[in-house]
Structure 1
């Protein structure tokens, strides 16, 4: 794992306009602990929010750069919430800038770099399901995708998601219901197209 922000952490803070900046050294021990504990979660989140595998490391660096600059503002215990909220914004920016029509994932693109590599049989069995899953999530609005990813893939509760995203539990439930409806429609459409392609092959 290469995390540039740990090698050269930025100084935090800044003074009033026209005055010398009030720099604040970054708490590198705390920063390193957060990265160690949540790197895998952050990497998976960016991938599942539609950031291509080739750009995920760049997205991670962007999120961690924001984390390092604002670390002094984040209360103890709120680090993961801050990471995910920042990841949602970064993923949204990257999705818009790429303006890709649809992401086609290669085998194992959702593999967490901290996990052991799956065997070849498992990869073959999961290939089609993963491609379908990721294409369907990629077509969701970013706010719906965030709730869907946390509930269905990270297996968080509605209450936990509400805290993580700083939104009311009712909003989580509404977004989750909409996300499931849209995901189901998109997945059915993609599956039908896949089946038609196989029949015509």
Structure 2
């Protein structure tokens, strides 16, 4: 079911404001609820920059710690989701710049191989062949997305995989809406050309971040914030 990105009902906004106040006061349950509500979007955005599951999870944890340390500075000018997304995206870009500096410094090192790490699926394991086919399909989607130029990849992940509107993506990436539309069009053409050679048009929910992985990161952040379980 697609995620709605409409302006929240006043009651929902009040609930978000209450969660923020409780989390700023050290309420572990409020921290967990905020993390689990935003994990999927933030993970996808961070991974779109870093193209590594392990790096994305590491940077996302850093971004949460940074965000909760400065939660008193959140005054609701933007939604909490947008505020967290900007923090996570900036953290990912900082990590990417640091990685590029290390690569330039290590001129004698060989090229790094791209890493495709399997991720959990929600499908039943009663049909092993179906599960394997789905894993192969999702792997192809990850590879095609990772192969996009960074500027196109970020827009594609935000618009198609995460489902943000043109306006939300423009605000998040600090781009004119027209540029978002152009980059999305280019990204779709590149991915379609890559995928249709082997499997034809596809529509999948790629790069999930839920279940045990979501719980593990949530508890790691709560623990590092020094909050009670």
Band the TM-score falls in, shorter-chain normalisation: 0.5 to 0.7
CA 1:127 to 1:55, structure 2 compared with 1: closer, same or farther past 3 Å?
A: same
Say whether 1:165 aligns with 2:170.
no
Residues 162, 169 of structure 1: 8 Å contact kept: yes
In 2, Cα distance between equivalents of 1:94 and 1:178: 26
The within-5 A match list for 1:66-77 is: 66-76=66-76, 77=78
Alignment counterpart, residue 134 of structure 1, candidates 142, 145, 152: 142
In 1, Cα distance between equivalents of 2:113 and 2:89: 19
The number of residues matched between the two structures is 161
Return the offset for 1:133: 1.3
Residues 49, 137 of structure 1: 8 Å contact kept: no
Residues 137, 145 of structure 1: 8 Å contact kept: yes
Q: In structure 2, what is the equivalent of residue 146 of structure 1? A: 154
Q: In structure 2, what is the equivalent of residue 46 of structure 1? A: 46
CA 1:119 to 1:50, structure 2 compared with 1: closer, same or farther past 3 Å?
A: farther
In 1, Cα distance between equivalents of 2:139 and 2:52: 13
In 2, Cα distance between equivalents of 1:51 and 1:93: 14
TM-score by length of 2: 0.56
The within-5 A match list for 1:1-201 is: 26-29=24-27, 31-76=31-76, 77-95=78-96, 97=99, 101=112, 103-107=114-118, 109=119, 111=120, 117-120=122-125, 121=128, 122-187=130-195, 191=198
In 2, Cα distance between equivalents of 1:48 and 1:147: 9
In 2, Cα distance between equivalents of 1:141 and 1:54: 20
CA 1:117 to 1:183, structure 2 compared with 1: closer, same or farther past 3 Å?
A: closer
CA 1:180 to 1:151, structure 2 compared with 1: closer, same or farther past 3 Å?
A: same
Q: Which has the higher contact order (CA 8 A, sep 6+)?
A: 2
TM-score by length of 1: 0.62
Structure 2 residues without counterparts, runs of 5 or longer: 1-22, 104-110, 200-229
In 2, Cα distance between equivalents of 1:42 and 1:79: 12
Residues 47, 56 of structure 1: 8 Å contact kept: yes
Residues 147, 161 of structure 1: 8 Å contact kept: yes
